[in-house]
Chain A
């Protein structure tokens, strides 16, 4: 049994004791347990996002031969915390002629929709917040709700820049959903399951990671998930140099923070799925198998590496134009993904016949 699972168990045990102490019924009611799990995962994810924001700043700074944040806390680690405090305590500026209710709801939708994807991510062997047998489908379905939040934000802000940004985002996310799904299909064909846990276990049994045979799928998935999370070079919905801030031009304070958090959570989810599906999830690399570290550790390391790659994209490449983005999605990613499915099908056919 691995360490992280022990941790979760420990939390459960402590909770049980707390309940007993309070004289409540045992076992713990499902609802309360769910709330507590959600709260814990929210806290953990928020801290991880803060770390990611710090990491992004440091990575970008060193790529540009700067130092980056180094004043608040050791290595500037608390800089993001300071920024978060600033954002939450900031005056909430709203345009006078906004559409009030959608304007209020939009960041919540965008944030919650991305955050719900965390549920099925396999952190370690058997450790998932709630394992679903249709995990891949669930993630893709739930994270694409983000676009509703962004579109609502763009519409309700009553600002032309926001509106353009919102529509761009809608077009982008809808067309990049397809290569995203198509790039995952070959793996599902091979493993025969939509359960992320089982996909990782398949890789553990097979002895290879899918990044090898499915390198095309991996690249397509990485590109499409970067586009899904509105990151440069696909950040046309916010496109600073064109639309000032895109869909979140009129948002400030905590509402802006929710968009910001949502973006980073969607990066985490994208790279977690990439790691689980293509990079063997919690499995230790073959040459490091002897190390007595829990699988969770390997999972986080891999996720950070993928995120580093995505950050390197952002700080190297120029931004695509909206029509070129569509071209790229429809004319390059989708045909290649379909070709990949076709080749994988042939491969499966060949091997199943051989056996």
Chain B
């Protein structure tokens, strides 16, 4: 009997010690996949064999909606493309529209745009920091991060009246000039915040558990990172200089003295470090902007109805909190764009997740996902 059983087993196939792979659905309802991302993970024990992101759970067809809205109305939808960094999306769209419609922006508006986009970068990175630490199991930095983020949102609310979907940066400038006390409050916040970054670093950066979880995890070489189309801090974490603020300065970034933060590790820890340092750079940029900003108009004179020239197209690219954000607009002579396309960093950053997690453990999926700073509405749009 035993012989019969043994004879059925092919010795060479190694089937006695072979293990079965099984599939686990992480999401769309899962505590760690920020929002409604679904990851279909093929596992062998704890080891990840394959990760497949399934998109579309938050698809609202914003690009199509924009084709049926006038140029200014589209801005309200760009708020929803990336709700954690709405100012950047506003800016990218407004710049594309201004290029298409040939609008000159007054300098004060430019400075204000820079201040608000950088403040938004701080807010976005703070949210990321909390989510990243939360993914790794440390819940406390999340609340510290949100505490400071509230201060930024207070500044936003004071200026434009909203805390999440601002609709502040408009075609031709900004919605409204800041209040006189804004400058002082902003400086106070920056002083307060600069010290807080050290505190986060104290809590996490050289914590041995944090180091073990992030050092070397999700490694990607610079060449591969470029080939996969990574962008923003995720690419700079691999040691590639890709900051559009430096390479194709828009607004007045060429008049500002700041450093492009690059880290050469290529792992989760480097991406973390880049973002932490970027927050400090943001503080320095905002301080300089506040110094440079002079009085003046904040909105250009616009015709009552904005009509995109027929057949013309415009593309703008900015460095959003998550990386390169581009907006492509085509006009057709009507007040509505013929085509509006958003190029979002999160989508490209998410595509690399299979490459980064293959061969690692289940827990590393969360670390990698957190370090890429993905925001689902931007992926699905």
A and B touch in the complex (CB under 8 A): yes
Q: Which residues of A contact B (CB under 8 A)?
A: 60, 63-66, 160-161, 164, 168, 232-233, 235-236, 239-244, 315-324
Shortest beta-carbon distance, B339 to chain A, in Å? 39
Assuming the A-B contacts A63-B140, A232-B137, are A318 and B213 also in contact, with contact meaning beta carbons closer than 8 angstroms in the complex? Answer: yes
Q: Which of B134-179 contact A (CB under 8 A)?
A: 134-140, 143-144, 147
Question: What residue of chain B has the Cβ atom nearest to residue A245's Cβ?
Answer: B31
Shortest beta-carbon distance, A128 to chain B, in Å? 37
Q: Which of B101-109, B202-210, B228-236 contacts A (4 or more CB under 8 A)?
A: B202-210
Question: What residue of chain A has the Cβ atom nearest to residue B360's Cβ?
Answer: A321
Question: A233–B137 contact, CB under 8 A?
Answer: yes
B117 contacts the other chain (Cβ, under 8 Å)? no
Question: B362–A315 contact, CB under 8 A?
Answer: no
B364 contacts the other chain (Cβ, under 8 Å)? yes
Residues on A with beta carbons closer than 8 Å to the beta carbon of B363: 236, 239, 242, 319, 321-322
Shortest beta-carbon distance, B37 to chain A, in Å? 13
Question: A164–B140 contact, CB under 8 A?
Answer: no
Question: B362–A318 contact, CB under 8 A?
Answer: no
Residues on B with beta carbons closer than 8 Å to the beta carbon of A64: 139-140, 143-144
| Distance A168 CA – B204 CA, assembled complex (angstroms) | 25
Shortest beta-carbon distance, B234 to chain A, in Å? 20
Shortest beta-carbon distance, B136 to chain A, in Å? 4
Q: Which of B99-142 contact A (CB under 8 A)?
A: 133-140
B22 contacts the other chain (Cβ, under 8 Å)? yes
Residues on B with beta carbons closer than 8 Å to the beta carbon of A244: 30-31
Secondary structure of the B side of the interface? helix
Q: List 11 A-B contacts (CB under 8 A).
A: A64-B143, A160-B24, A161-B24, A240-B31, A241-B136, A242-B363, A316-B138, A318-B133, A318-B210, A319-B136, A322-B46
Shortest beta-carbon distance, A62 to chain B, in Å? 11
Question: What residue of chain A has the Cβ atom nearest to residue B24's Cβ?
Answer: A160
Question: What residue of chain B has the Cβ atom nearest to residue A168's Cβ?
Answer: B46
Question: A318–B209 contact, CB under 8 A?
Answer: yes
Instruction: Tell me which of B22, B140, B213 contacts A160 (CB under 8 A).
Output: B22
Question: B46–A164 contact, CB under 8 A?
Answer: yes
Q: Which residues of B contact A (CB under 8 A)?
A: 22, 24, 30-32, 46, 133-140, 143-144, 147, 203-204, 207, 209-210, 212-213, 361-366
Instruction: Tell me which of B133, B137, B147 contacts A65 (CB under 8 A).
Output: B147
Secondary structure of the A side of the interface? loop
Question: What residue of chain B has the Cβ atom nearest to residue A64's Cβ?
Answer: B143
| Distance A315 CA – B140 CA, assembled complex (angstroms) | 6
Shortest beta-carbon distance, B142 to chain A, in Å? 8
Question: B361–A321 contact, CB under 8 A?
Answer: yes
Question: B31–A321 contact, CB under 8 A?
Answer: no
| Distance A160 CA – B147 CA, assembled complex (angstroms) | 36
Question: B134–A241 contact, CB under 8 A?
Answer: yes
Question: A320–B147 contact, CB under 8 A?
Answer: no
| Distance A65 CA – B144 CA, assembled complex (angstroms) | 8
Question: What residue of chain B has the Cβ atom nearest to residue A242's Cβ?
Answer: B363
| Distance A317 CA – B203 CA, assembled complex (angstroms) | 8
Shortest beta-carbon distance, A311 to chain B, in Å? 12
Question: A318–B46 contact, CB under 8 A?
Answer: no
Q: Compute the total of residue contacts between A and B using a CB distance below 8 Å.
A: 82
Shortest beta-carbon distance, B103 to chain A, in Å? 45
Question: B366–A241 contact, CB under 8 A?
Answer: yes
Question: B137–A322 contact, CB under 8 A?
Answer: no
| Distance A243 CA – B30 CA, assembled complex (angstroms) | 9
Assuming the A-B contacts A241-B32, A242-B32, are A321 and B140 also in contact, with contact meaning beta carbons closer than 8 angstroms in the complex? Answer: no
Instruction: Tell me which of B31, B144, B204 contacts A241 (CB under 8 A).
Output: B31
| Distance A318 CA – B212 CA, assembled complex (angstroms) | 10
| Distance A65 CA – B150 CA, assembled complex (angstroms) | 14
Nearest 3 Cβ contacts at the A-B interface? A319-B137, A241-B32, A318-B136
10 extra A-B contacts, CB within 8 A, seeds A233-B137, A244-B31: A239-B363, A241-B135, A241-B366, A243-B362, A316-B138, A317-B138, A317-B210, A319-B138, A319-B363, A323-B46
Question: B213–A320 contact, CB under 8 A?
Answer: yes
Question: What residue of chain B has the Cβ atom nearest to residue A240's Cβ?
Answer: B31
Assuming the A-B contacts A233-B137, A235-B137, A241-B135, are A320 and B209 also in contact, with contact meaning beta carbons closer than 8 angstroms in the complex? Answer: yes
Question: B137–A239 contact, CB under 8 A?
Answer: yes
Shortest beta-carbon distance, A67 to chain B, in Å? 12
Question: B362–A164 contact, CB under 8 A?
Answer: yes
Residues on B with beta carbons closer than 8 Å to the beta carbon of A243: 362
Question: B46–A66 contact, CB under 8 A?
Answer: no
| Distance A324 CA – B215 CA, assembled complex (angstroms) | 12
Question: What residue of chain A has the Cβ atom nearest to residue B133's Cβ?
Answer: A318
Question: A317–B207 contact, CB under 8 A?
Answer: yes
Question: A318–B24 contact, CB under 8 A?
Answer: no
Question: What residue of chain B has the Cβ atom nearest to residue A232's Cβ?
Answer: B137
Residues on A with beta carbons closer than 8 Å to the beta carbon of B207: 317-318
| Distance A168 CA – B45 CA, assembled complex (angstroms) | 10
Shortest beta-carbon distance, B105 to chain A, in Å? 40
| Distance A161 CA – B361 CA, assembled complex (angstroms) | 14
Shortest beta-carbon distance, B194 to chain A, in Å? 19
| Distance A123 CA – B138 CA, assembled complex (angstroms) | 34
| Distance A242 CA – B24 CA, assembled complex (angstroms) | 11
Residues on A with beta carbons closer than 8 Å to the beta carbon of B366: 241-242
Shortest beta-carbon distance, B269 to chain A, in Å? 12
Residues on A with beta carbons closer than 8 Å to the beta carbon of B365: 242
Residues on B with beta carbons closer than 8 Å to the beta carbon of A318: 133, 136-138, 204, 207, 209-210, 213
| Distance A65 CA – B133 CA, assembled complex (angstroms) | 17
Residues on A with beta carbons closer than 8 Å to the beta carbon of B136: 241, 318-319
Shortest beta-carbon distance, B279 to chain A, in Å? 19
| Distance A160 CA – B46 CA, assembled complex (angstroms) | 11
Question: A324–B212 contact, CB under 8 A?
Answer: yes
Question: What residue of chain B has the Cβ atom nearest to residue A327's Cβ?
Answer: B212
Assuming the A-B contacts A240-B31, A242-B363, are A66 and B143 also in contact, with contact meaning beta carbons closer than 8 angstroms in the complex? Answer: yes
| Distance A233 CA – B133 CA, assembled complex (angstroms) | 13
Shortest beta-carbon distance, B360 to chain A, in Å? 9
| Distance A172 CA – B300 CA, assembled complex (angstroms) | 65
Question: What residue of chain B has the Cβ atom nearest to residue A323's Cβ?
Answer: B361
| Distance A261 CA – B276 CA, assembled complex (angstroms) | 39
Shortest beta-carbon distance, B288 to chain A, in Å? 31
Residues on A with beta carbons closer than 8 Å to the beta carbon of B147: 65
Instruction: Tell me which of A65, A236, A242 contacts B143 (CB under 8 A).
Output: A65
